[in-house]
């Protein structure tokens, strides 16, 4: 089978995607600098698939090392590019770190891919490119709004760079996958989300609060124009998300793409409020969560959920796992990590 490079392949979404690739028989090579992940994740991947992917610890900011990697692995047929800094708040305080890490590394990889006879490129993008959309659910035709953070801006700029590169590179085909909110863990509980420090996302904060690592969960605002007053997001199980990457990659490798650069939303198509996520967690875990409503958080949009028609029809991909499934697996993973 084809050799596929997964950058950031020991991260949350990356590791789940490596599992799905190996389950489909692909030969996987992982690049990760371990700045926000652990080499122990490899053990989880092996436990699930029975196969150890090739792993190279490499900082993609080092251009000469990127060149050396592709010289060694000149038979790579596709790249799924996850490696990036991803904390919105940190990006506001350290914009140059984000532009160097998220944009510079993308350029170095694309330069190497242009040298290959043919290559498929899957880009880890985000629904942040839409901002507060004018209409819900959000389609791929929704206008890209001015970014609220340097992180969001790197996703917008990244998409533009890839699109421009595809125009002048007949050998290169790319798909940008715009995710909504990935949650959950693999059903085996061998891999899951491992945030370093205080979690930036809702679900790990919920599970860490429930297990006693955090005193309480803050719910930011209850006066939004939504049914229960809290923000609404589209929470997609990470395993469904990982499977979409494999389907998108196959589309490129088999030449089924309709243009050299395509975009797809990846979500469930259903919005869930913060309070609904909390209720789902309480239901599947049997634990009462200690949370408190506080003031709104700056930069939070009111509501975002995907129109998934294009992904459903063009990719032939649909989500199969529910919010309850995601919360159940996230809780099992938290319990395993904490030895409970």
Write the DSSP assignment of 56-73 as a string of letters: EE--TT-HHHHHHHHHHT
The CA distances from residue 190 to 21, 80, 90, 232, in Å, are 16, 22, 29, 29
Alpha carbon distance, N-terminus to C-terminus of the chain? 40
How far, in Å, CA of 28 to CA of 44, rounded? 15
Active site annotation includes 179: no
For 24-152, strand residue ranges (E) read: 27-32, 54-57, 76-81, 119-126
DSSP helix/strand/coil, 264:
strand
Residue with tokens 């199969």: 320
* Residue tagged active-site, from 151, 179, 235, 261: 151
- Degrees (nearest 5) of the Cα angle 139, 144, 149? 125
CB atoms within 10 A of CB 205: 19
How far, in Å, CA of 226 to CA of 148, rounded? 21
Catalytic residues: 151
């Amino acid at each position: 089978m084809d050799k596929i490079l997964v950058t950031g392949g020991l991260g949350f979404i990356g590791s789940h995607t490596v599992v799905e690739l190996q389950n489909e028989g692909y030969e996987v090579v992982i690049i990760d600098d371990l700045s926000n992940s652990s080499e122990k994740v490899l053990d989880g991947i092996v436990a699930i698939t029975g196969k150890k992917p090739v792993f190279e610890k490499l900082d993609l900011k080092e251009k000469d090392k990127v060149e050396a990697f592709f010289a060694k692995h000149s038979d790579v047929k596709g790249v799924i590019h996850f490696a990036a800094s991803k904390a919105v708040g940190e990006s506001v305080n350290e914009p140059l770190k984000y532009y160097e890490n998220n944009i510079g590394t993308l350029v170095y990889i694309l330069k190497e891919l242009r040298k290959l006879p043919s290559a498929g490129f899957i880009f880890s993008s985000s629904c942040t490119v839409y901002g507060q959309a004018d209409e819900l659910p959000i389609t791929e035709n929704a206008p890209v709004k001015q970014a609220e953070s340097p992180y969001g801006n790197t996703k917008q700029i990244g998409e533009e760079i890839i699109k421009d590169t595809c125009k002048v590179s007949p050998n290169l085909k790319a798909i940008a996958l715009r995710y909504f909110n990935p949650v959950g863990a693999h059903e085996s509980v061998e891999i899951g989300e491992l945030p370093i420090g205080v979690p930036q996302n809702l679900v790990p904060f919920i599970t860490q609060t429930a297990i006693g690592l955090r005193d309480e969960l803050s719910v930011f605002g209850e006066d939004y124009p939504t049914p229960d007053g809290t923000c609404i997001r589209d929470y997609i199980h990470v395993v469904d998300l990982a499977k979409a990457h494999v389907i998108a990659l196959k589309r490129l490798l088999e030449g089924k793409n309709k243009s050299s650069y395509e975009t797809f939303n990846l979500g469930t198509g259903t919005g869930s409020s913060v309070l609904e996520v909390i209720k789902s967690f309480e239901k599947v875990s049997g634990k009462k969560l200690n949370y408190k409503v506080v003031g709104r958080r700056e930069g939070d949009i009111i509501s975002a959920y995907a129109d998934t028609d294009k992904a459903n029809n063009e990719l032939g991909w649909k989500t199969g796992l529910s919010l309850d499934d995601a919360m159940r697996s996230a809780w099992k993973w938290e319990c395993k990590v904490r030895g409970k």
